[in-house]
Structure 1
Amino acid sequence: MQLHDVWFVLIAVLWTGYFFLEGFDFGVGVLTKLLARDRTERRVLINTIGPVWDGNEVWLLTAGGATFAAFPEWYATLFSGFYLPLLVILVCLIVRGVAFEYRAKRSEERWQRNWEHAIFWTSLLPAFLWGVAFGNIVHGVKIDAHKEYVGGVLDLLNPYALLGGLVTLTLFTFHGAVFTALKTVGDIRERARRMATGLGLVAAVLAAAFLIWTQAHRGDGASLVALVVAVVALLAALGANRAGREGWAFSFSGVTIIAAVAMLFLTLFPNVMPSTLNDAWSLTVTNASSSPYTLKIMTWCAGIATPIVVLYQGWTYWVFRKRIGTQHIAEAH
């Protein structure tokens, strides 16, 4: 295995970690409108992810930076071709961070309600658009002989990519509902479990259709194994949630996301962006990568920095591991 293959695997791991971690806090953001009945319950939901949401986004920054350094041709084509949807995601992430920090700065109901609307929409849109983006990456887009995207925005809104967006939206929301049940007490915990059952069933149908379509289009034996693991893990998550075993349910929903993302990257390799115009024009791990010297330096840096990031983020989750409920929310000023 050469260094460009290693970095393809590392980037896949970074995106998998991002979807696993940011997936549940996107889901919790969506649930602030679907599950919470009043402002106090919305505060409970926001507080479950308050200490960790910004740390989860570190994985996105690292994945983007690694792609830029290891595969500059992939980065350039991806960000120029997908400029509008990626810009929408970026704006959502900026507004979402501001909403978390500014919501409680003033006590007026209208002020807080507007920021709560912002949290909901800036959680829902990225959860959907990431699925659309990765659906297009795996399915292939219009790339010419100069490695440039020559399609339009409407070309990105094809049935396969839109189905991918619905899968990530429902799967992340299910993941968030299971996380809410794991992190809360009282009535909100029970309602989160009931909602997770419905969300999980919808996500299972959509995910099965999307992954089977992916397997039929580009799959092989390894991707088939990942597909089976994803489906079995999702069913196990539903069973554990129904039995009230929130820890196991969250673990299995996480395995579902990990296996599904792994399947996408397995079907993609050795391409990084297939061309639908001519297979010879596809971007691959070979023709899109940086020089061996650059990849070698990056490997040393990643070997030193990655364990530190994982350790401090794991410590954060350990510190804020306890459940919370409405009784832990102080009265508003």
Structure 2
Amino acid sequence: MRDMQKQIKLINRPKGTPTKEDFKMVTAPIGEASEGEVLVRTVYISVDPYLRGRMNDTKSYIAPFELNEMISSGVIAQVVFSKSTLFKKGDVVLGALPWQEYSIANENTVRKIDHSRAPASAYLSVLGMTGLTAYFGLLDIGKPQQGETVVVSGAAGAVGSIVGQIAKIKGTRVVGIVGSDEKVKFLIDELGFDAAINYKTQNVAEALREACPNGIDVYYENVGGEIADAIFPLLNNFARIPVCGAISSYNNERPDLGPRVQGYLIKTSSLMQGFTIGNYSPRFGEGVSDLAGWLKEGKLKYEETVTEGFDRTIDAFLDLFIGKNLGKAIVKVSEIEK
């Protein structure tokens, strides 16, 4: 095996939308595993919108990335050398690992996955963080009931596409908001949404009134901004709003300002609750079990936008902010060896 590898580091804190100049690819030694560690080869890297927040030097629910250090995210990797009693060569594992071609990981920081149950990449999407985010945000906070109307923004993304399908499993009417006619067609024809709105070509407020004649009972928030502003006048009494993300403002250099929501929440006795997937870590097994069951039964589909090659990791990340991905955005770095 070679001695050197490529790594990706954050060298500038982005001002507004990140650019390639905020990152640097370097070469560094691969290193050797010590007792209780494994040397793994990166197979898939997850690129996610929340990583943008970690590039700011501000307090949040997770520590910011340090400048001139590697970025990290969810990674599927294969063990190439083990000094751990828990893993052997060839095992496929999942962990929060740096953006590099090889990593040395403590045995307690990665877990083995069964890629005979589902493709390995699914553990970064439908059976991973994004699937679990959809599952717990919708079911624990949204609490969809038979016959209700559920609206999902960012509905063709990794989380939103799963939210809409779970809402259909629960017997609701589902409306998705997306950014292209191709995605509208995908939601309706492939995922079974009842209606979909292209916010780039349609008046969202008018389209929502037409698509939601009985109002909105659950709004799964991924986007924020003007799209969210159009939702509040249509809320039904006791509506629920799980707040997963607000990607429309992630690259803003100034605070995002808009209509005040308090009046709408008071008049309709609605619940609006933010969350992160870490809140539900003790219950991950429950979520994976249900998601895997629906997947096996054919009730759940998932889409991945796979970018080939470690050298294109930054491109895949930047593409998130112009809506290029359909479903989960993943970088494929290498093949799983048998």
Q: What is the TM-score when the length of structure 2 is the normalising length? A: 0.26
Higher strand fraction (1 or 2): 2
RCO higher in 1 or 2 (8 Å CA, sep ≥ 6)? 1
Q: What is the TM-score when the length of structure 1 is the normalising length? A: 0.26
